[in-house]
Amino acid sequence: MPNTIHDLTRTTDDVVIVGGGLAGLFCALKLAPRPVTLISAAPLGQGASSAWAQGGIAAAVGEGDSPEAHAADTVAVGAGLVDEAVALGIAREAAPRIHDLLNYGVPFDRDLEGRLAVGREAAHSARRIVHVRGDMAGAAIIAALSEAVRHTPSIRLIEGLVAEALLTEDGAVTGLQLRDASNVTSRPVTIASRAVVLATGGIGHLYAVTTNPVEASGSGLAIAARAGAVIADPEFVQFHPTAIMAGRDPAPLATEALRGEGATLINGKGERFMAARHPLAELAPRDIVARGVFAETAASRGAFLDAREALGARFAEKFPTVHASCIAAGLDPAVQPIPIAPAAHYHMGGIAVDARGRTSIDGLWAGGEVSSTGAHGANRLASNSLLEAVVYAARIAEDIAGRAIPSPAWLPEALVTPRNAAIDTRAETSLRAMMSAHVGVIRDGDGLVQAVEHFAVLERDAGSAALRNMATAALLVAASAFTRRESRGAHFRSDHPAEAPAFAKRTMTTLAAAREIAEALTEQPARRTAQAMIA
């Protein structure tokens, strides 16, 4: 960890970006030569979900394709909640952002004629996914951008600090409270800035089974919510249907592109089960496939991804990352079906932002998975996440570049949380288990009530800042899932299995609202008991 951890100035004219994934790195590069301080909890290239992305980036760059067709597919998958203008805007900016990434050295696959090679993934009407060596897009993009960041003089990189609180005054950002990621009981440090960009990633690690790194624990969402930011669509969590069940946490991912190449889903009896559930079978929207896989495992039939016929001996060459994960687990996917289960993969919800990436707090922007732009609605279209991250990172940089940002004031001596306890691993395990059991692929009212009440107590009482932030993010997801009494996209309620027209709108909420829901649920049993005693 750099010595600069103890040399942080109390005030800076820099734009402060929190997060070393795709959105954070791309935004920092786009802001050059403006001074930027980039804060990453893990060393660059590690701890970012985008580095693990196997699918690629969706972009209408193939012959006969168009941004309009791309946007239409995005809207169709989003179950009535996609902001159509946002989807179209992102699709139209795809080609120039791909060009930017090429300029930063990303080696996208090309065909024999030198054009960008494009593949197809679930629910896309055309081949429009640009890849790197089949399943290595995320790692290649992060490696190229990390190298560019390290060689950009205007970017001050600080690794090994985690943001645990957002500092505000009169509805505007004044800075951040940070702590040494390797020593959580150390005294925190503060950095003052009137321009903060949160690019901290998603919430997958809130679940017991996830494809996300441990850093994806909802910290950015939580610190923004605790500062009063509006949160959008937190109940919509996408579960990847084909996580490899190899006893690892996080679970390795079997990319959707495998099914695009013809791999099928079978149960333990060797029977395909998706054709009976949806006309697109294995290429149906992710929420439908995830519930299909979940149903087979819940019925003890097991679920497997079978690429023996579609790829066979070509597996290792076409999908080296998945192949390596299988071999490490003692499986040869060329001759054996791969055991799978749904895993928390992507959060459609997040900090509500406008078309420029601005949040409801002045001076705070958010990009990447921690944000919610309206592009994904209730269900994300495959490979749209990396595209959204670069599009909004560029928009944020442009918005900041054209804006006069006042010099920051000196921060007060008082800290938000001067003391911090080590995380209670049993409480963390319990939180993750409850999220998977009650706020997972299939939900119901009774389970959600238990979850909301549990997370509310933990959010109030946790002595660890990290655990408190996890509980904050979990409470936001569970409370909104309880309130949405219908099934839509990735949110499925077994007690409300149909879509309800009254809920055909995005959720906009706050932490205060989630706490009120928890308080009301806690009071209801007491009222019922009192009424019974009176009767």
The position carrying tokens 């734009």 is 15
Using alpha carbons, select from 286, 303, 300 the residue that is nearest to residue 241: 286
For residues 12 and 191, the answer to whether their CB atoms sit within 8 Å is: yes
Distance (Å, rounded) from C-alpha 25 to C-alpha 44? 9
Largest CA distance in the chain: 82
From the CB of residue 328, how many other CB atoms can be counted at a distance below 10 Å?
12
Distance (Å, rounded) from C-alpha 334 to C-alpha 310? 9
For residue 131, the SS3 value is coil
Distance (Å, rounded) from C-alpha 376 to C-alpha 365? 19
Q: What contacts 481, CB < 8 A, 6 or more positions away? A: 235, 439, 443, 448, 491, 493
For residues 222 and 472, the answer to whether their CB atoms sit within 8 Å is: yes
| DSSP, res 493 | B
Cα 272-259-302 angle, rounded to 5 deg:
40
Q: What contacts 520, CB < 8 A, 6 or more positions away? A: none
Helix 384-401 and helix 22-31, axial crossing angle in degrees, nearest 10:
30
Distance (Å, rounded) from C-alpha 20 to C-alpha 22? 7
Q: Catalytic pick from 120, 156, 194, 286?
A: 286
Using alpha carbons, select from 225, 224, 207, 219 the residue that is nearest to residue 162: 219
In the chain, count H helices and then E strands: 15, 19
| DSSP, res 441 | S
User: How many residues can be counted in the chain?
Assistant: 535
Instruction: Check if 133 is active-site.
Output: no
From the CB of residue 278, how many other CB atoms can be counted at a distance below 10 Å?
14
Q: What contacts 431, CB < 8 A, 6 or more positions away? A: 206, 454, 455, 458, 467, 470, 471, 474
For residue 157, the SS3 value is strand
Q: What contacts 398, CB < 8 A, 6 or more positions away? A: 30, 356
342 φ, ψ (degrees, to nearest 5): -70, 145
CA separation, residue 166 to residues 7, 22, 66, 407 (Å): 20, 21, 41, 17
Burial readout 356-371 (b: 16 or more C-beta within 10 A, e: otherwise): ebbbbbebbbbbbbbb
For residue 108, the SS3 value is coil
Active site residues: 286
